[in-house]
Chains A and B, each alone.
Chain A
Amino acid sequence: MSYARAVWLVFRKDFREEVRRKENLAASFFFAFLSLVLFYFSVDPTRVDLGRTGAGLLWLVILFAGSLFMGATFRKETETGTLQALLLAPVDRSALFLGKFLVNLAFLLILEGLLLLFAFLLLAMPVGEHLAQLAGVWTLVSVGYAAVGTLLSALIAQVRGGQVLYPILLFPVLIRF
């Protein structure tokens, strides 16, 4: 089996599973949406210029919502015992990482697209004027975020209490980023 095919098969399996289960995705998407709605009610737009201050808030929402579904990337494989089966497959193990990274990246980009839409509608952020540049920048940032999230998810997958450790390990790495 070629490397690209192995990556594609892992990607397709995880993508389908997430879309069918909707467990982690729904939790993350609703969390992100509700955070923005709450922010809308908590800020007085006549006093706060969201064009200048809203970007950091958007990234915080993405950070928290993303960690909700990325933390489970390898945990569910461990719980169901399928991680061993995946590791036994006669392919390079980095194909496993790349497949799962691409799934996380895809869901992050969907989440960010929806958040940008909500930010435009709810918070009147100046999103539309530089949409192409914004899409490029957010994609670039998401690549790094998804890579770290996937790697740490693998590291804590076989650790008891890994779910608690995940944000503690992830957020300090991402502060500067």
Chain B
Amino acid sequence: MIAAGSLTQEVMLGQFARGAHWLQLVALFDMIFLAAPLFLFEFAVEE
């Protein structure tokens, strides 16, 4: 939520470029948590 809040704040203030490093963090987070379950999801629902 630190990245999301900071990024939103920068965008609202019209300083999108200042939030670039937060955007990288969010993109990395997205890739990890979207790609990993696609391969490992069957273990999550295994009894």
Contact = CB atoms under 8 A, between A and B. Distances in A.
Interface of A: 51-52, 54-56, 58-60, 63, 74, 83, 87, 93-94, 96-98, 101, 125-127, 129-130, 133-134, 137-138, 140-141, 143-145, 147-148, 150-151, 154-155, 157-158, 174-177
Q: Is the interface of B mostly helix, strand, loop or mixed?
A: helix
Contacts of A58: 5, 8
A137 B5 contact: no
B34 A174 contact: no
A144 B44 CA distance: 18
A129 B13 CA distance: 9
Contact of B37 (A60, A87, A126, A147): A147
Given A97-B38, A125-B12, A129-B12, 5 more contacts: A54-B12, A63-B1, A133-B11, A137-B7, A150-B37
Contacts of B23: 137, 140
B18 to A, nearest CB: 12
16 contacts: A52-B9, A54-B12, A55-B8, A55-B9, A60-B1, A94-B37, A125-B12, A126-B12, A126-B13, A127-B12, A130-B11, A140-B27, A144-B29, A144-B33, A147-B34, A158-B45
Contacts of A98: 38
Contact of A97 (B14, B19, B37): B37
A154 B5 contact: no
Interface residues of B, number: 31
Contacts of B47: 158
B4 A141 contact: yes
A151 B33 CA distance: 8
A140 B11 CA distance: 14
A87 B14 CA distance: 47
Given A144-B29, A151-B33, A55 B12 contact: yes
Given A97-B37, A141-B26, A147-B37, A174 B16 contact: no
